């Protein structure tokens, strides 16, 4: 079920790109159509926000894993060339779904935790500043939870992982625009 949702999200990305003709510089309103069709609950909102991110050439990196080494040795997490050096996962607005690439990264971390039972991870969830603070605490918790599920699926133990949700309280980037927001919608995998 997880895979289906991720694939459909990727499909939505591709479709959005095709439809928008890869408009750069045009920042689609992430709430386009919010006033039309009041009360309707569809997927346009999400898609709109995603196109904005790609148009900006920002957090979404299609080939992040290419050329990276894969190793689960003790100090692999400190090797900048290792896939485990990717310790920040970014999200779309009001979403806790991972992209396929990010899911792949998280799986490697899960294997690392499974093979190094003395390792432990603090999983921090964050959101951008939009929306209400307490909703964002819950949203950031969901982001961390969705990563934890993948880690456990790879054999990591629940006792190795501590989740803390900061919501919008600890932004990585200051500023009040998409450039800052896309960096703040994140989860950080912190080895302790």
Partner 1 sequence: MNRWILLFFVACFSQTANAVLKIDITEGIEGATPIAIIPFQWNSATRLKDSDISEIVSSDLARSGKFSPVAEKSLLARPQRPEDIHFKTWRVAGVDHLVIGSVQMVANDSFKVEFRLFNVYRGEQVLGYSFNATSATLRTTAHQISDLIFEKLTGLPGAFNSRIAYVTSSGKPVEYRLQVADTDGYNPQTLLTSKEPIMSPVWSPDGSRVAYVSFESGLSAIFIHDIHKGTREKIASFKGINSAPAWSPDGKTMAMTLSKDGNADIYIISLQTRALRRLTSHWSIDTEAAWMPDSNSLVFTSSRSGKPQLYELSLDQGSRPKRLTFEGKYNSNASVSADGKAIAFVHSANNSYKIAVLYTDTRVMQVLTEGPLDESPDFAPNGTMILYASQDKGKAVLAAVSTDGRQKQRLALSDGEVREPSWAAKRK
On whether the CB atoms of residues 188 and 92 are closer than 8 A, the answer is no
88-107 residues near partner 1, rule: CB under 8 A:
94
Round to whole Å and give the CA distance between 96 and 88: 14
Q: Is 163 in the site for partner 1 (CB under 8 A)?
A: yes
- At closest approach, how far in Å is the CB of 167 from partner 1? 8
Q: Interacting stretch for partner 1, rule CB under 8 A, among 68-76, 78-86, 106-114, 165-173? A: 165-173
CB of 185 to partner 1, least distance (A): 14
- Within the chain, strands assigned E span 88-90, 121-126, 161-167, 186-191
Which of these ranges, 74-82, 101-109, 113-121, 132-140, lies near partner 1 under the rule CB under 8 A? 132-140
CB contact at 8 A, 33 and 70: no
- Residue 186 CA to residue 109 CA, distance in Å, equals 16
Binding residues for partner 1, per CB under 8 A? 29-31, 34-35, 38-39, 41, 45, 94, 129-135, 137-139, 141-142, 145, 162-167, 169-170, 176
């Amino acid at each position: 079920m997880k895979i289906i949702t991720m694939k459909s999200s990727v499909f939505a990305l591709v479709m959005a790109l095709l439809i928008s003709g890869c408009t750069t510089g045009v920042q689609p309103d992430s709430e386009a159509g919010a006033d039309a069709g009041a009360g309707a609950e569809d997927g346009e909102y999400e898609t709109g926000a995603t196109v904005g991110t790609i148009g900006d050439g920002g957090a979404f990196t299609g080939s992040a894993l290419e050329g990276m080494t894969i190793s689960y040795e003790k100090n692999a997490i400190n090797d900048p060339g290792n896939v485990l050096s990717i310790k920040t996962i970014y999200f779309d607005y009001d979403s806790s779904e991972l992209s396929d690439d990010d899911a792949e990264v998280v799986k490697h971390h899960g294997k690392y935790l499974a093979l190094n039972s003395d390792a432990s991870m603090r999983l921090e969830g964050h959101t951008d500043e939009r929306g209400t603070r307490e909703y964002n605490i819950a949203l950031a918790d969901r982001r961390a939870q969705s990563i934890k599920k993948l880690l456990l699926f790879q054999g990591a133990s629940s006792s190795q992982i501590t989740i803390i949700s900061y919501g919008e309280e600890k932004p990585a980037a200051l500023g009040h625009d998409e450039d800052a927001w896309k960096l703040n919608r994140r989860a950080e995998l912190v080895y302790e």
